[in-house]
Structure 1
Amino acid sequence: MSAKSRRPPDLTMSLPDSPDPASTPDSPTYSRRAPLLRATSSVSVSEVTPLLQPGTSRRRSLRSTRHHNRAESWSQRLVTALTTDHHIRDHTRESKVPAEPDDRVWYDQFTSTDWVHDSIADAYRLKALRSRTDIRGRIKAFFDGTQGWILSALVGCLTATIAYAVDKSEAPVFDWKDGYCSKGFFLSEKRCCPEGGRCDSWKPWSSYIQIPHVNEGSVEYGIFILLVVAFSTLSCVLTLTTKTVVPSTYRISTLDENLGAPNLQESNSPNDVASPAQIDKPEVAPPMIYYSAAGSGVAEVRVILSGFVLHGFLGVKTLVVKTVGLILSVASGLSLGKEGPFVHIATCVGNIACRLFSKYDNNDAKRREVLSAAAAAGVAVAFGAPIGGVLFSLEEVAYFFPAKTLFRTFFCCICAALTLKFLDPYGNSKIVMFEVRYLTDWQFFELTAFIAVGILGGATGALFIKASRKWAQSFRKIPVIKKRPLVEVMLVALLTGVVSYWNPYTKIPVAKLLLNVASPCDAETRNDLGLCPADMDEIFPVVRDLAIAFFIKGILTIVTFGIKVPAGIYVPSMVVGGLGGRMIGHIIQWIVLRFPTSPLFGDCAAHVSGQSCITPGVYALIAAGSTMCGVTRLSVTLAVILFELTGSLHYVLPFSLAILVAKWTADFIEPLSIYDLLTNLNSYPYLNNKHKPIFTSDLADIIPRVRRERLIDISTSPLVSAESLREKLEILHQAGEIDGGLPIIRDDILVGLIPAPDLEFALDNLEDESNSLCLMASVTSFDSDDERGKDPTDFTPYIDPAPLALDIRSPMDLVYECFVKLGLRYTHKKTFVKYMRELEEKEGHV
C-alpha cells in the first residue's frame, strides 16, 4: 500500500474511532473493498438502537446498519433534503452514507469526527477536480468554490425567514391569554390597537364568556391560567415526539437538560471485561432517553461542532417540532426565551442545506464549517446583531474557526440581517429585538456603580447555575417528575400562570419587559409600566415593585430551566439582571437627588433634564449583560450585542467594564458556565480547548493495562478465526467502546490497527463466520490474485497499517496537544476528557 493510500494516523494506544470513507474520493484504500450491499435499516431516531439488547445473536452485528445510494442529481438532492423520512436521512449523521454502494456506514451514534481523515479526503477530491483542464472541468471547479457561499447565503435567508415566522406567530398567540381582536382573530394587541394601550377593537374573554355568579376578573384570571397551561402542555407534547432511546452500552449518563436524571455508574476501566464468556449474559442497564427539541440546544450544538455525533439533533423533524413548539412555549408566558433555540434552529437549517451539495454532505469536517456559520446566523436574527453573531460562533460554539470560516460566517450573518430587514418582523424597519437610545452621557463617579452592578450581575448568574443544579437534583428526582416530563411542565405552567397574572412586570413578554426596564426616562420614550418616577417620593415605590418582580422572575426562571419544551436562557437571564439593575439605578438616582450639593456628584442633580444625570435604564442594561455573562460566560460577544442594541458609543466602555468584572466574579463563584455544566453532567466527551489544566503526569496514568483479548496477535499466522475476532469485538462493545479498535501486533511489535466499526462490517459480510479464517496482514500470494474478485475474508483494506502511536511514557501535555491542535479522534479521548475533569476538580476549578 502506497503512502498516499494510507488512512489518517491514529493513536494505537487509544483505540481509534472509525474514519469515514464516505467523504473520500476514489483513493486506493477504499477502492479495494468487496462490492457487498448492506440492508437498509428501518430504525428511526426515536427507536431503540439494537445494541447489546437481550437476545442479540453473537453471529450478527450488535448494531444496526444503514445504506442507500447517493448517486443523485442536484434536483433530487433538493427534494431529498426537504424530506422528513428518517429512514433515508437524519440529522448530522444518522448514517454516514457511503459514496459508493460497496462502502460501509461510518460515523455511528456517539462517535467522533475524524478531522484529519476528512481533510485528507477533501484534498483528494480537490486534486481530482482541479486536474481537469477542459471547460467543463473549470466550470465545475468554479461552481465547487461557490458552494460554500451559496450555502451561507441560503442558510442566512432561511434562518431569518423562520425567525420572522416565529416572531409574527407567537405575538398574537401570546396575546390570546388576555383576549382577542375583533378586527381579526390572528392580530396581536399591538397591531389591533396601533395607537397603544387597549382599544375598543380588543375584546377581553369576559365579554365573550360569562359565568353566572362569577365576576369578570375571575373569568379573565381562569382563562389566563388555562391558556398558559394549555400552550405549555401542547409544546411539551410536541417536544416529546422527538424522544430518542439510547442503549446503556453507550456509557452516557444523561442526554438532555434534565440535570436531575440518574447517572449510571461507569466501570473504572474499560478493561473490566475479563473473558468473552461474560459477554453471553451481560447486565443490561436501563436505556437512556433524550429529547432533541427540548431546551435551547446550544450545549449540544457546541458538542456537535467539536466533532461528536449526536443523532436526531439537527434533522428535519427536530427543526419542525422545535419551531412550532417554540412558538407555543414563548406564547405561554413561561420564563424562557427564543434566542437560544434560534441557534439550534439555524444549525438544523445549515445541516439540512448541506445535503444539497455532496462536497458538504459527504464530509463532516466541511459540514461543520457551514454549521458554525449557521449558529452565528441564529444569534444574528435573535438579537438583530450580525457582528455579535460572528463573535458568538467564535467565542462559544465553534471548535475550529479558520479565517475562511470567519469571513463566510460574517457573510451568512449579513445575509440573515438583510433578509430580516426586508421582512420587517417588528413593523418598525428595525432588525434589533428592541432598540434604546441614551442621550445623556455617563459621569466618572458612576464607574464605581457600574463595577458594582457588574459584580452583582456576575454573582447572580453564577448563583442561578448553582440553584438550577440544586433544583434539578432534588425536585426532578421525584419518581413522577422523572418518569413523566409532562407533569413537570404542567406544574411549572400552573405556577407561572397563578403568580405572574397579578404582576404587570411578569405578565408581559420577556423581550418587552427588558425593553421597558432598559428604556430611559425622557420625553421621547414612552414607558408603559410606570418606571419613570416624577419626584423623589415615587422612587422607592418603583424600587419595591421591581424587587417583587425580580424575586418572582428569578424563581420562575430557575424552575423553568430544563423542562421539556423549547426554551432559551439568554433573555430571561437578562430580564432578571435588568430588574435588579433598574433597582440599583433608581437608588443611585435617589442618592444624587437627596444630596444635590455633594462635590462627588457635581451638577448631576441640576441636570438640564429637570431630574438628574442618572439614567436607570443604563444600569438595567448593564446588569442584564452582566447577568447573562454570569450564566453563559460570553464576554466580547455580549459587549458587542449591547452596543448593537443601543448604538451608543458613549456606553461601550461601561458595558465592557461591567461584563469584564462580571466574568471574573462568576468564574470565582462557579467556574462552569451553564453550557459547560450541561456538557459535563451529560457526559459528552467534549474536550474544552479554552482551558488547559496543569499536567504533571504521563500517559501511563490514564491508560489501563492492555489485555491479550484486546489484541490481535499475528505472530504465528496472518490468518485469524472469525469467531475469535467476533469475541474480541463483543468485548469492546460490552465495555461500551463502540468506536474502539483492536491493535494488531507481530512479535510484540505494533503493525496495524482495525477499528471496531470496520471489523464489525467485515464480519457481517462473511457468509460462514463460524468456519472462516480472516486475513489480517498483506500477503503477496493473496494480493496478486485481484482479477478473481475480492475475498470477503481479506480484512486488510480495513486495517490502518501505520497508526500514530505514542509511548506510554509520553507527557500528558503532548497528549493534550495531539487531541486539541491536531484534531485527532480516539476512543480514549473520552478517557482523557474524564481525566481532565477529575484533575480540574482536584485543582478546585469545577
Structure 2
Amino acid sequence: MAKKKTMLLFYRPINDRLSTRGTHEINENIAPQYESLDYDICENTLMRREEDSKGDKFVFRKRIARWFVFLLIGVVTALIACCIDIAIEELSSIKFRFLKYYVDLCMNDRCMYIPHLYWVATNIVPVLIGTILVTYVEPVAAGSGIPQVKCYLNGVKVPRIVRIKTLLVKSIGVTCSVLGGLAVGKEGPMIHSGAVVAAGISQGKTTSLSKDFHFFNYFREDHEKRDFVSGGAAAGVAAAFGAPMGGVLFSLEEGSSFWNQSLTWRIFFASMISTFTLNVILSAYHGFPGQLTYSGLLNFGAFPNISYEFFEIPLFVLMGVLGGVLGALFNYVNLKLTLFRMKYITKKWLKVVEVLVVSSVSATVAFAMIMMIDDCRPLGQDPTKFPVQLYCGDGEYSAVASIWFQNPEASVRSLFHDPPGSHNPCTVGVFFAIYFALSCWTYGLSVSSGLFIPSLLTGAAWGRLAGMFLEYLFPNAAWTNPGKYALIGAASQLGGNVRMTISLTVILIEATANITFGLPLMITLITAKWIGDLFNEGIYDLHIHLSGVPILGWEPPQLSHNIFASQFMSYPVVKFNCIESVARIVDTLRDTIHSGFPVVTSVHDPRNQQTEAGTKLCGLILRSQLIVILQNKIFVENKEEWMGKSITLKLFRDAYPRYPKIEQIYVSELERSYTVDLRNFMNPTPYTVPLAASLPRVFKLFRGLGLRHLPVLDNRFELVGIVTRKDLAKYGTNH
C-alpha cells in the first residue's frame, strides 16, 4: 500500500515519528521469534453456525468438563510434586549418610580430602545429568519457568513452554539440581510443571508424542488454554507451599493478564485439590497416614505462639529496607552475570562446564566452611538427621555441618525453629555471605532450578542474625525471638528479589499457619518492593526483558498521551481481498512472517471519481486459518469436492496448536489459479482504532482484551496501518 502524504498531516507526519516521542526511549531489543497468542475470540461464520447447532446440553456438558479438567490438573500436579519430593528425599538421605560415614571415618586419620572429593563427585554426577538434559534436550526447561509462564499468560507464545518433553526434563532436572547441592529449590519449577500439566490435559492430546485422545476438542483455542494454564500455575504454587489461596493470588498478581470471577472459583478448586492430594500422599509417605500434616513440599512448620509488639513495626520496616537493598543487589549482580553468559558462554558444552564448576565450588566452599569454623553444640539440639561430630567433643556435633548436610528446605526450617543459642553468629553470618553469592551465581545456569528457596534461606540467615543481635541487646526481653526475625528476613529477601507482595504474604501466612503475623509480613514485603524498585526491576522481569519478550505490563508508559497510533503503527499493510487468489495467499505467506492479515474491499468516493480507490476493512484473518484452508483445499473452484465434508471449527481445532508451515503445504499449478472466499473464516468484527488514538488507549485495548492485531483507520474509515504487541512493547510499560 502506497503512503498517502496528506492523510497524516493532521495527526503529525509519519516522517516525524522518531522526533515526536519525547523522552520515551524506544526499546528495539524485541526478539523476532516470539509471537502473540490469539486470546481474542474469532466470531466468524463457522463459530456462529456451531453455536446455533448446539443446545443447552452441550453448554452444560462443557461447563462440567471445565471443572473436571481443573480437578485433573490439581491431582496430576500434586502427583508430580510428590514424585519429585520423594525422589529428592530418598536420594539425599543416601548422599548425606554416605558423606557422614566418610567424614567420621577420616576425622582422626587426616584424610579429610577423601570426603571432600566424594562430596564434589556426588554433586557433579546428578548435576551433569540435569544440565545435559536441559542444555541438549529442552533448553526452555532451564530455570524455574516462572518468567516463561508469566509471558504465556500475558499473551506471548513462548516456544515449547508447555510440551510434555519440557515437563519430563523439568522434573528430572530439578531433582538432579537439588540433589547436586546447587543453591536452588524445587518449589519454583512446580509452577511451570503445573502449567504444562494444565495445557496437556485441557487439550486432550500431546503434540510431543503425536497422540490425540480425541476429547476436550472444544478447548483447543488460545483463550481457553490460557484459563487452564492459569489454574495449573496456581496448583503448582499450592503444591509447593501448601497455600491454595496463595496460588490463586499468585496467578492473579504475577501471571494472568485477563481474569474473570468464574475462573477464580475453578482455579481455587484446582489449588485445593492439589494441596489435598499432596497432603494425603506425603503424610502417608512420612508415616502419618490420615493426619494430613504435609500440605506442601516446603513445610515451614507452624508458628503457633509467634506474636509481635507495636514498637517492633519500625524494626520490620528497617528489615524490609535491607531486604529491598539486598534484593536489588542480587538482581544487579545476576543481571551482569547473565549478560556475561549471553556474550561469552554461548556454546552448549560451555554451559555444561559452567554448571559443573558451580557445583564443584558449592561443595568446596561448604566443606571449607565446615573445616574452618569451630561451632559445636550438644547433641540434644541437633536439627539434622545426620549430625557430624568432626572435631567436636563427645556428645557434641558440628552446627556448621548441620546446615550443609541437609536439603535447603530443612535448613530454612532449622533457622525458623531452632531454639535460641543453637547457632553461632559467626556461623550464620558466613553462611549468609556464601549462600547469597552462590544463589546469585546459580540463578541463570543451564539447569532446572527455583529461586524461592535460595532467597528464603538467605533471608532467614541474615534475619536470624538480626534476631540474635536484638537478643544480645535485650537479653531478658520475651519478644526477641530469633526465629521470628528469621521469618521476616526470609520474606524480605524474597520480596526484594521477586517484588511480590499480596500473593507472597498469603503464601507465607498459609505456610506458617499463623494469620496474626500477616501485617508484619505485608509491611516488610511492601517496603522491600518499594526500596527494590528504586534501583531496578524484579528478577523475573529483568530476565524477561533480557530475552526480548514483548510483554505488556499493567500500565502504559507515563506521559505518553501525546503519542498517537499514526506514530507507532506498522505500515504499509499486507492485506487480502474478500475473495483472494490461492497464488497470492501462498506467495504472501512464504514471503512474509506476519501472523494476521486484514481482509479488505476496494471502494471509490462517489463524490470524486478521480481519487484512488480506498480500502474498506471487512475483517481479519490469521495465518493459521489460511494454512488450514490451504491444507484442506477449501477453494471456490472445487466447491463440489469439499461441500460434502463438514467444514467446521473442528478442522482448525484438530490442527491446533502446531499448525503446518507454508512450506509443508503442497499446492499444484492448477490450484494456484483457484480462489478462496475468506468471508466465512475471517473475524468480521475486529477491534479498530482511529489514527488519533493515543498510546495509552491502544495499550489498554491490548492489555484488557488480549488483542494480537489492531487495525488503524483514517478519518474516512479506510485501513492505513496495523498495531501489534511488538509495536507497543518497544515503548516499555509500567510494571
Q: Which amino acid aligns with 1:342?
A: M
Summarize the alignment of residues 132-143 of structure 1 with structure 2, pairs less than 5 Å apart.
138=57, 141-143=59-61
Tell me the secondary structure at the aligned position of residue 204 of structure 1. helix
Residues 276-306 of structure 1: per-residue CA shift (max 9 Å, x gap): xxxxxxxxxxxxxxx1211111111122223
Tell me the secondary structure at the aligned position of residue 508 of structure 1. coil
CA contact (8 A) 2:600 2:615 kept: no
Residues 527-557 of structure 1: per-residue CA shift (max 9 Å, x gap): 9xx32xxxxxxxxxx2222111111001101
CA contact (8 A) 1:685 1:829 kept: no
Match of 1:396 in 2: 254
Relative distance call for 1:125 and 1:333 in structure 2 (3 A) is: farther
Match of 1:430 in 2: 294
Residues 188-210 of structure 1: per-residue CA shift (max 9 Å, x gap): xxxxxxxxxxxxxx9725799x9
Residues 156-177 of structure 1: per-residue CA shift (max 9 Å, x gap): 1111111111111102222333
Match of 1:796 in 2: 677
Summarize the alignment of residues 380-419 of structure 1 with structure 2, pairs less than 5 Å apart.
380-419=238-277
CA contact (8 A) 1:119 1:365 kept: no
Summarize the alignment of residues 121-160 of structure 1 with structure 2, pairs less than 5 Å apart.
128-130=53-55, 138=57, 141-160=59-78
CA contact (8 A) 1:500 1:507 kept: no
Q: Does 1:233 align with 2:128?
A: yes
Summarize the alignment of residues 221-260 of structure 1 with structure 2, pairs less than 5 Å apart.
221-243=116-138
User: 622, 626, 647: which is aligned to 2:513?
Assistant: 647
CA contact (8 A) 2:599 2:617 kept: no
Match of 2:437 in 1: 555
Structure 1 residue 567: deviation in Å? 0.3
Match of 2:566 in 1: 700
Match of 2:28 in 1: none
Q: Which amino acid aligns with 2:407?
A: P
Tell me the secondary structure at the aligned position of residue 296 of structure 1. coil
Q: Which amino acid aligns with 2:689?
A: L
Summarize the alignment of residues 124-523 of structure 1 with structure 2, pairs less than 5 Å apart.
128-130=53-55, 138=57, 141-180=59-98, 204-205=101-102, 215-243=110-138, 291-356=139-204, 357-359=215-217, 361-423=219-281, 424=283, 426-427=286-287, 429-432=293-296, 433-437=299-303, 439-479=305-345, 484-503=350-369, 504=400, 505-519=403-417, 521=419
Structure 1 residue 240: deviation in Å? 2.8
Determine the C-alpha separation between the residues in 1 that align with 2:226 and 2:628: 26
Kindly indicate which of the two structures has a greater share of residues assigned to helix: 2
Structure 1 residue 241: deviation in Å? 4.2
Match of 1:576 in 2: 458
Structure 1 residue 444: deviation in Å? 2.3
Q: Which amino acid aligns with 1:339?
A: E
CA contact (8 A) 1:296 1:344 kept: yes
Match of 2:40 in 1: 115
Relative distance call for 1:153 and 1:759 in structure 2 (3 A) is: closer
Structure 1 residue 784: deviation in Å? 12
CA contact (8 A) 1:578 1:622 kept: yes
Q: Does 1:682 align with 2:547?
A: yes
Relative distance call for 1:122 and 1:485 in structure 2 (3 A) is: farther
CA contact (8 A) 1:173 1:331 kept: yes
Determine the C-alpha separation between the residues in 2 that align with 1:477 and 1:721: 46
CA contact (8 A) 2:124 2:360 kept: yes
Root-mean-square deviation over aligned CA pairs:
3.5
CA contact (8 A) 1:174 1:332 kept: no
Match of 2:525 in 1: 659
Q: Which amino acid aligns with 1:308?
A: V
Structure 1 residue 691: deviation in Å? 5.7
Structure 1 residue 382: deviation in Å? 0.5
CA contact (8 A) 2:134 2:448 kept: yes
Structure 1 residue 498: deviation in Å? 0.9
Relative distance call for 1:294 and 1:122 in structure 2 (3 A) is: farther
Structure 1 residue 482: deviation in Å? 6.5
Q: Which amino acid aligns with 2:157?
A: V
Tell me the secondary structure at the aligned position of residue 229 of structure 2. helix
CA contact (8 A) 2:319 2:488 kept: yes
Determine the C-alpha separation between the residues in 2 that align with 1:456 and 1:166: 34
Q: Which amino acid aligns with 1:552?
A: I
Size of the aligned set, in residue pairs, is 604
Determine the C-alpha separation between the residues in 2 that align with 1:727 and 1:550: 61
Tell me the secondary structure at the aligned position of residue 156 of structure 2. coil
Structure 1 residue 324: deviation in Å? 1.5
Structure 1 residue 659: deviation in Å? 1.2
5+ residue gaps, structure 1, are 1-51, 53-107, 132-137, 181-201, 244-290, 532-541, 594-604, 768-773, 776-780
Determine the C-alpha separation between the residues in 1 that align with 2:592 and 2:361: 48
Structure 1 residue 307: deviation in Å? 3.0
User: 824, 831, 845: which is aligned to 2:707?
Assistant: 824
TM-score, normalised by the number of residues in structure 2? 0.75
Match of 1:278 in 2: none
Determine the C-alpha separation between the residues in 1 that align with 2:243 and 2:585: 55
Residues 290-341 of structure 1: per-residue CA shift (max 9 Å, x gap): x121111111112222333233221221112211121111111100111110
Determine the C-alpha separation between the residues in 2 that align with 1:456 and 1:621: 14
Determine the C-alpha separation between the residues in 1 that align with 2:517 and 2:642: 73
CA contact (8 A) 1:333 1:507 kept: no
Tell me the secondary structure at the aligned position of residue 313 of structure 1. coil
TM-score, normalised by the number of residues in structure 1? 0.65
Q: Which amino acid aligns with 1:459?
A: V
CA contact (8 A) 1:520 1:618 kept: no
Q: Which amino acid aligns with 1:544?
A: C
Tell me the secondary structure at the aligned position of residue 795 of structure 1. strand
Determine the C-alpha separation between the residues in 2 that align with 1:656 and 1:788: 63
Structure 1 residue 814: deviation in Å? 2.4
Residues 238-272 of structure 1: per-residue CA shift (max 9 Å, x gap): 223434xxxxxxxxxxxxxxxxxxxxxxxxxxxxx
Q: Which amino acid aligns with 2:457?
A: V
Greater shift in the superposed pair: 354-363 or 339-348: 354-363
Structure 1 residue 613: deviation in Å? 2.6
Q: Which amino acid aligns with 2:443?
A: F
Tell me the secondary structure at the aligned position of residue 685 of structure 1. coil
Determine the C-alpha separation between the residues in 1 that align with 2:46 and 2:259: 19
Determine the C-alpha separation between the residues in 2 that align with 1:120 and 1:613: 69
Tell me the secondary structure at the aligned position of residue 437 of structure 1. coil
Determine the C-alpha separation between the residues in 2 that align with 1:233 and 1:674: 26
Structure 1 residue 742: deviation in Å? 6.9
Q: Which amino acid aligns with 1:565?
A: V
Structure 1 residue 833: deviation in Å? 3.0
Relative distance call for 1:831 and 1:292 in structure 2 (3 A) is: closer
Determine the C-alpha separation between the residues in 2 that align with 1:740 and 1:558: 45
Match of 1:101 in 2: none
Structure 1 residue 492: deviation in Å? 1.0
Determine the C-alpha separation between the residues in 2 that align with 1:563 and 1:514: 23
The alignment-based identity, stated in percent, is 24
Tell me the secondary structure at the aligned position of residue 616 of structure 2. strand
Determine the C-alpha separation between the residues in 2 that align with 1:652 and 1:336: 26
Tell me the secondary structure at the aligned position of residue 176 of structure 1. helix
